[in-house]
């Protein structure tokens, strides 16, 4: 008999069970995933998140997929950290286009105490004052850093496990799989919602993909958000010659993630530029209900805002309001940190209107 927590969520999935789900005929898998999705989420609502690189390049890690690594010769060089004012200006722009979560990423192996970390805390406070959910991804954290981020009002922290434990050493050697799990545990302890997923298309097997999802689903607390990324091969990185991921493979991953983690936001993340409108809608049918919204994902491309607005309008989808996810930790963070200043607008409360090109 399977064990469930007080919310009825399972944390004891076997690899055989997950692989059996993944192997279902796609129509059967989609039906199961959509049924779970509708039992836990509004079927026509999608969370809009914007991701900004606040410190680009020069990372000491050797992640084989990442153009920001200092180990590889890519077109992404080390840049100065953006100022608090620059970041908050971008956050206002994101809010104006309808985003409700603003994510800030720094190309660090681990967060270092000092002026740069203090600036991140100021960024988090400023984003919260705009009425947005605030997310950060800064590498590994100490317990004290996680606590300080929580006190500043951070809604979520992203720290992906990337792949299965078995395949992990083929992709990264400068940080262990357990290092990643320890940071996730610190984030949970601090009362911040965990954003944790992985990447497919890095030469892994189907077994590796299923084991990655099983690891996430068997954590003591399910991630509040599960980003499903398709590798974006970048010239100069070791994975530059990997073939593009088949959209149906991405759909399967979204569906299995939805079934294993019913209350999580399943985020259709990197690689969305390679998907047709129809393929994106298939992923939404599979249970994806969150996207990165805007022209850039740290250093790689993303569909532009006008394209996304047209897709949402044509499909009858609407943006999710902030702090309305099923994740109780997200709800709890609403009362921590700064209160939104008067005049901040929750643009996600309105439907996205059909986009109009300038001059039309």
Which DSSP string do the residues of 36-68 spell out, in sequence order?
A: HHHHHS-TTEEEEEEEEEEE-S-BS---TT-TT
Pick from 149, 241, 166: nearest CA to 204: 166
196 in active site: no
pTM, rounded to two decimals:
0.89
49 in active site: no
267 in active site: yes
From 95, 180, 267, 272, the catalytic residue: 267
195 in active site: yes
- Residue 343 confidence (pLDDT): 56
How many helices (H) does the chain have, and how many strands (E)? 12, 12
Rounded-to-integer distance, Cα 192 and Cα 96, Å: 26
CB neighbourhood size of 223 (10 A): 30
CATH 3.40.50.620 correct for 15-333: no
From 103, 196, 254, 283, the catalytic residue: 103
Residue extents of the structural domains in the chain: 15-333
Alpha-carbon distance values, 281 to 61, 131, 313 (Å): 35, 29, 12
Residues in the chain predicted with pLDDT less than 70, given as ranges, are 1-7, 57-58, 70, 75-78, 295-303, 342-360
- Residue 350 confidence (pLDDT): 41
Instruction: Name the 3-class secondary structure at 196.
Output: coil
59 in active site: yes
66 in active site: yes
Structure tokens at 182: 């320890």
- Residue 81 confidence (pLDDT): 87
The CA-CA-CA angle for residues 65, 285, 100, to 5°, reads 65
283 in active site: no
């Amino acid at each position: 008999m399977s064990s469930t927590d007080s919310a009825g969520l399972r944390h004891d999935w076997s690899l055989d069970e997950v692989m059996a789900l993944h192997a279902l005929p796609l129509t059967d898998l989609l039906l199961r995933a959509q049924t779970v999705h509708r039992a836990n989420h509004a079927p026509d609502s999608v969370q809009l998140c914007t991701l900004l690189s606040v410190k680009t390049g020069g990372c000491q890690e050797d992640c084989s997929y990442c153009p920001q690594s200092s180990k590889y010769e890519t077109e992404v060089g080390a840049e100065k950290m953006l100022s608090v004012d620059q970041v908050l200006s971008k956050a206002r722009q994101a809010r104006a286009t309808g985003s409700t979560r603003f994510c800030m990423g720094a190309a660090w192996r681990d967060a270092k105490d000092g002026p740069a970390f203090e600036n991140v805390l100021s960024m988090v406070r400023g984003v919260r004052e705009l009425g947005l959910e605030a997310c950060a991804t800064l590498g590994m954290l100490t317990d004290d850093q996680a606590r300080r981020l929580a006190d500043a009002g951070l809604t979520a922290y992203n720290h992906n496990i990337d792949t299965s434990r078995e395949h992990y050493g083929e992709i990264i050697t400068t940080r262990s799989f357990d290092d990643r799990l320890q940071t996730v545990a610190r984030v949970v302890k601090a009362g911040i919602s965990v954003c944790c997923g992985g990447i497919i298309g890095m030469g892994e097997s189907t077994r590796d993909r299923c084991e990655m999802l099983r690891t996430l689903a068997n954590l003591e607390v399910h991630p509040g958000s599960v980003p499903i990324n398709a590798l974006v091969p970048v010239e100069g990185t070791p994975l530059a010659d990997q073939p593009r991921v088949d959209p149906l493979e991405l759909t399967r991953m979204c569906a299995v993630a939805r079934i294993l983690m019913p209350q999580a936001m399943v985020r259709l993340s990197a690689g969305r530029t390679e998907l047709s409108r129809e393929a994106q809608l298939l992923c939404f049918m599979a249970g994806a209900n969150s996207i990165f919204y805007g022209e850039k994902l740290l250093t790689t491309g993303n569909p532009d805002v006008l394209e996304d607005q047209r897709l949402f309008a044509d499909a009858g989808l609407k943006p999710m309001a902030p702090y309305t996810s099923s994740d109780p930790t997200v709800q709890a963070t609403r009362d921590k940190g700064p209160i939104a200043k008067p005049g901040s607008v929750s643009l996600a409360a309105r439907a996205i209107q059909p986009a109009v090109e300038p001059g039309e």
